[in-house]
Structure 1
Amino acid sequence: MTASRQRAVVVGAGRAGTAAVEQLRAAGFDGEVVVLHDETTPPYDRTACAKGVLSGKQRPADVALPMDPRLDVTWRLGRRAAALDPWAKVLTTDEGEELGYDGLVVATGAAPVVPPGWPVGQPGFHVLYTLADAWRLRGELRTASVVAVVGGGLTGCEVASFVCSSGRTCVLVDPSDRVLGRPLGPMAGALVTDELARQRVDLRLGRRVRRVEPVRRGWLLLLDDGTEVVADAVVATVGERPDTSWLDGVPGLDTSDGLLCDERLRVVGAPDVVAAGTVARWPNLQYSPRPVRLGQWITAWEHGRAAAATLLGGEPPGGAVTHVPRFWSEQFGLRIQVIGMLPSDGEVRVTYLRPGRRDVARGGVLISHYGSTGLEGVVAVNATRAFTSMARGLLATSGAAIHAVAEIQAPTHAPIHAGIQTPIEVPRLAAVG
């Protein structure tokens, strides 16, 4: 058996999928690599949709993920996985093409979820997930005076920040009593909520949208307390669901919340299949044996590399893929940084960088979360230097790469070429070298 007659298939071309491709080649695999990408655009940084692309600081071409064309990858753009036979090792695409594989990386990410009947796609009513979504929304916001954002998570708040900074009225609706409570914890979420109120965001917290109706110019949202919101444009950021529908009905797979994996990202119930990124639910033994999903950019990047190493038979340090979650966001003049896990029943310690200021978040605050193992997570708002010091300590004790504290900047874009090759039936995947 020669390595050139082997095939690895990667489903998904986000950060997890592209990182897996890069690692396969870096580890010496010289067989065929086929990537299915369900969008017609080359792979891009999805996190830029609510940041640079929406604000106009970046154009679509600026956010393409850099991929060296010398990696020799067959890109199937605009193709989705439709079915899987893990025992025959055959994946079927949405066009009926059957791809045999020796190793499979599932990196399909997630898809936005909206209530049934919401008119997503009609003029003025948007979700924000893909690059096309962001570009379409940016065009419509040029003529909007009032924008309603439904959902107070990271994406919703970043959209609201742009809307306010461009001089438009923003109404933000969320069923919680504060924004960002889930990703930042209740205390940091409350401080950021106070800052949004100071910047005159029309906050409708503790409220749900019961009905959506078109009006002469825009949309009417009827809330559960009987009040109404009339907006020129609506952006729904109410959640996402792991993209595993194509795996429904496959015997032995647990897709109840993403794709269940073991501690090395091997999909339970499917030989020679690994998962990476938002779609993967695995026991992050850095914190707990309970399987979890994480949706951050850095998680996808590290997962993709680790999943590819597992597929090639590599052994991660300690025999398990462990990970320290971390992410950042800039909104309303606040630099928000998070690292680690935030235990709900642990001790919380707060450090105010400028005590006595009424605008606590803008003045700078560091919130440390302690659990059974000691310091487990840190949230910083406008406290970059203090955060960096604590983050380095957390990463050092976990064995993670210290350089990962810094924001990762993509290098210059390299062109990506799509192509189609004839399927080849081949044996088990292996590294060369």
Structure 2
Amino acid sequence: MKRIVVAGASLAGLRAAQTLRAEGFAGELVLVGAEPHLPYDRPPLSKKQLTEALPVSATDLPVPGDLDATWILGTRADGLDAYGRTVRLSDGRDLPYDGLVIATGAAACVPAALLPLPSGVHTLRTREDAASLRADLRPGRRAVVVGGGFLGSEIAAAARACGLDVTLVVPESRPLVRQVGSAAGEFITRLHDSAGIRVLPGYRVKALVGGRRLTAVGLDDGTELAADVAVLALGAVPNVAWLAGSGIALAGGVRCDERLRVLSIDGTPMPGVVAAGDVAVVPHPHPPNSDSRSASRAAVYDGNRSSLGHWSNAVEQAAVAARTLVHGDAARPLTAIPSFWCDLHGITLRGVGLPASADEERTLERNLVDRTLEVTYHREGRFVGAVAIGRNSRIAAHRRVLAEAELARV
């Protein structure tokens, strides 16, 4: 290959570029990024960037001096001719390629019924989003955070640490219940309560009240919550609009095989195209039994495919995708054990595997005073994941068990 284009200049794109060089690709390497910045780390945006006066550069990802890449920043990938092997850029240019890495990530999900967003309402995906939200997190203000996943919980905790009166509106029965189940979700609820956050489970937002400037958040039962600031943390939408009409299979993202090769609509690999990160939907290396009929399956899987929006997932997929471009079928498929973490109220919840796919959870330790927790997850009797607070050594042990099971499966 003479030229490889990486569409997406964030974590997955950078790691793919680094792996391409490490695996011996010596041709032209071009990274295209919609944002004007070189790659930066996103997890701190909902953590330290909201509670500490950190310089913008604190989240910069190190770019090796010998990467020898061309950067086209502030310019989106706007279209793809997959058979002609050309990426159309938002400035009108056509960029030919021999190999393509699709790593365009995802955007914040905002219900159309809530648009246009009044001043004081935020989403959080970019550096600019974090800076805008931090400026609104002033002590004594009333904040409503909508969404009970990892991002919503972290933002609520950060807002409370900044001295705001915080209400967390959760569509489910408790925060994080979809991600880590009821036991861990209840534990996190108690941590929020102890910090002074009001948790409202089982509600959805119907309206943002106030015209140009937010004054209240309207719930689906008719209640209006007075608010100076609101944050919508309702999940993410893969950035795949630019791939419409390309012949690539799009279903919840870019469909890929186990080596991250992008699939065409007929199910065959698209020549010279791989994907990684939030945009990729891959066959998970730890699928449930094929005859499963459990309701939890639909929450995580499309068949045996899944999309995991975690930091480690982007890194691991990027490496596999890059090796596939260089080595083809000789590249090892994706076998990494999923891992994730969430920082809340001075503690870190860590997890491995796929807790959200479980049909059974077992609480091994729960101590609110010491703020320690350990829960394991099982599917049809098989161990599929674990989460813990204050028990890093236990998470490491659970990871080893999952890795040994994967080796035995392969």
Global fold match (TM > 0.5): yes
Relative to structure 1, the CA distance from residue 377 to residue 328 in structure 2 (aligned partners, 3 Å threshold; closer, same or farther) is same
Moved more, 379-388 or 160-169: 379-388
**How far did residue 218 of structure 1 move?**
3.7
In the TM superposition, residue 167 of structure 1 has moved relative to its aligned partner by 2.0
Matches within 5 A, 1:323-338: 323-338=336-351
Corresponding pairs, count: 389
Query: Could you say which residue in structure 2 is the equivalent of 1:381?
Result: 389
CA distance in 2, matches of 1:339, 1:17: 24
Shift of 1:53: 1.1
Deviation at 1:190, TM superposition (A): 1.7
CA contact 1:175–1:207 (8 Å) conserved in 2:
yes
Counterpart in the other structure of 2:4: 8
Q: Does 2:363 match 1:350?
A: yes
SS in 1 for 2:312: helix
Separation in 2, partners of 1:135, 1:396: 43
**Cα distance in 2, alignment partners of residues 70 and 265 from structure 1:** 26
Residue 181 of structure 1 is matched in structure 2 by 177
Q: 1:257 aligns with which of 252, 258, 262?
A: 252
Q: TM-score, normalised by structure 2?
A: 0.89
Structure 2 Cα separation of the partners of residues 169 and 216 of structure 1: 22
One of 44, 47, 51 as aligned partner of 2:47: 51
**Does the residue aligned with 1:70 lie in a helix, a strand or coil?**
coil
CA shift digits 1:72-119 (9 cap, x unpaired):
110001010111111110110011100110000000111111111535
Distance in 1 separating the partners of 2:219 and 2:39: 38
Name stretches of at least 5 consecutive residues in structure 2 with no aligned partner. Answer: 265-269, 289-302
Q: For the Cα contact (< 8 Å) 1:171–1:203, is it kept in 2?
A: yes
Q: How far apart in 2 are the matches of 1:216 and 1:308?
A: 46
TM-score (norm 1): 0.85
Question: Which amino acid letter does the alignment assign opposite residue 381 of structure 1?
Answer: I
- Please point out which of 144, 147, 154 is paired with 2:150: 154
SS in 1 for 2:210: strand
Alignment pair present for 1:368 and 2:376:
yes
Q: Partners of 1:372 and 1:323 in 2: how far apart?
A: 22
1:218-229 matches, cutoff 5 A: 218-229=214-225
Where in structure 1 do 4 or more consecutive aligned residues deviate above 4 Å? Answer: 119-122, 314-317
| Contact residue 340 and residue 378 of structure 1 kept, 8 A | yes
Name the SS of the counterpart of 1:298 in structure 2.
Answer: helix
Deviation at 1:164, TM superposition (A): 1.2
Greater displacement, 117-126 / 207-216: 117-126
Confirm or deny that 1:279 pairs with 2:274: no
CA contact (8 A) 2:50 2:130 kept: yes
Structure 2 distance, partners of 1:372, 1:204, is 32
1:390 CA drift (Å):
2.4
Partner AA of 1:189 in structure 2:
G
Select between 332-341 and 54-63 the one with higher mean Cα deviation. Answer: 54-63
Closer/same/farther in 2, CA of residues 284 and 316 from structure 1, 3 Å limit: farther
Q: Quick one: distance in 1 between partners of 2:147 and 2:42?
A: 18
Query: Which letter does structure 2 place at the counterpart of 1:313?
Result: H
Any residues of structure 2 matched to 1:93-132 within 5 Å, and which?
93-119=89-115, 122-132=118-128
Aligned pairs for 1:21-420 (under 5 A) are 21-56=17-52, 58-119=54-115, 122-142=118-138, 145-214=141-210, 218-251=214-247, 253-269=248-264, 270-287=270-287, 290-315=304-329, 319-342=332-355, 344=357, 346-352=359-365, 354=367, 359=368, 362-372=370-380, 374-398=382-406
TM-aligned CA distance change 1:268 to 1:363, over 3 Å: same
Measure, in 2, the Cα distance between the counterparts of 1:62 and 1:396. 37
Instruction: Give the partner amino acid of 1:395.
Output: A
Contact 2:348 2:389 (8 Å CA) reproduced: yes
The Cα of 1:291 is off from its aligned counterpart by 1.6
Q: Secondary structure at the match of 1:82?
A: strand
Alpha-carbon distance, 1:166 to partner: 2.1
Superimposed CA distance per residue, residues 226-280 of structure 1 (whole angstroms, 9 cap, x where no aligned partner):
21111111111111111100011223x2212101111111111221100101111
d(CA) in 1 for partners of 2:258, 2:119: 45
**Structure 1 range deviating more: 30-39 or 188-197:** 188-197
Pair 42,367 (structure 1): closer, same or farther in 2 beyond 3 Å: same
**Displacement, 1:59?**
2.3
